[in-house]
Amino acid sequence: MKLFTRLDSRNQAYSLRELLEANIAQLWAQAIEVSQAIDADADRTATLAALTPHPPPHLLAEALVAARAIKSKENRAKALAALAPRLPADQQPAVYAEALAAARAIESEGNRAKALAALAPHLASYPTLDDQFAPTLRVLAQRGYPALLDDLRALRPWLAALAKRRSLLALCADLATAMKRGAAGR
């Protein structure tokens, strides 16, 4: 698409978002192609997020490939979380699990907590993701107790759902195991 070749990443992202918000349908395929060429992860993420409200179903697979290719864990988590609700129901849990894996790997405590908080309501909606709780705790506990508490606070909606689906004893056991392993790994 020659129109976008001379624009910097931010202008490419802005221009695509504007065109997509105007709902120019024939641009969807080109928009995904151009979004993959945007250098800045944050701008690529914003562009993919603009694509997600009403994407043509035949382009969802391409949008998912583009989201998975984002290098920044924070931006990849955002893009996957934005795209997941638009996917077929049977694919959503796996994409939320990918977003969770990216979110829990974010180094910045504040950004990680924000990403986890954005994901928590979705994680709560899928009992099939409950098996991700213990591994998530293990990863988060490795960063120390203050960071773990912030992360657990961000995950409250998921914790509330887990408390309804599992025994409190099992949740406490998962937490104790994670904290013990986290303390041993530090």
Q: What confidence tens digit (pLDDT) does each residue in 81-96 have?
A: 988 998 999 999 999 9
Beta carbons of 150 and 111 less than 8 angstroms apart? no
Residue predicted with more confidence, 141 or 7: 141
End position of a domain, from candidates 71, 87, 105: 71
By percentage, how much of the chain surpasses pLDDT 70? Answer: 67
Please identify, among 38, 71, 104, the residue that sits at the C-terminal boundary of a domain. Answer: 71
Bigger pLDDT: 162 or 21?
Answer: 162
pLDDT at 6 over 50: no
**Domain of 62?**
1-71
Q: pTM score > 0.75 for this model?
A: no
Same structural domain for residues 82 and 56?
A: no
Number of folded domains that form the chain: 2
Burial 111-127 (b: 16+ CB within 10 A, else e): bbbbbbbbbbebbbbbe
Residue carrying structure tokens 């996957």: 80
State the Cα–Cα distance between residues 143 and 96, nearest whole angstrom: 22
Same domain flag for 80 and 14: no
Same domain as 119, residue 78: yes
Average predicted confidence (pLDDT) for the chain: 81
- Of the three residues 71, 88, 106, the one that is the final residue of a domain is 71
150 and 61 within one domain: no
Residues 140, 173 within the same domain: yes
Rounded mean pLDDT, 133-162: 92
Q: Quick one: angle between helices 73-83 and 41-51, nearest 10? A: 0
Model pLDDT, residue 176: 86
CB–CB of 13/46 below 8 Å? yes
Span 149-170, average pLDDT:
92
Question: Is there a single domain that holds both residue 35 and residue 112?
Answer: no
At 79 the pLDDT is 87
Maximum average pLDDT range among 5-19, 43-57, 107-121, 131-145: 107-121
113 and 163 in a single domain? The answer is yes
Please name the residue that has the structure tokens 């024939």. 26
- Residue 169 makes CB contacts below 8 A (sequence gap 6+) with none
Q: How distant, in Å, are the alpha carbons of 121, 123, 138, 167, 176 from that of 85?
A: 12, 12, 27, 28, 33
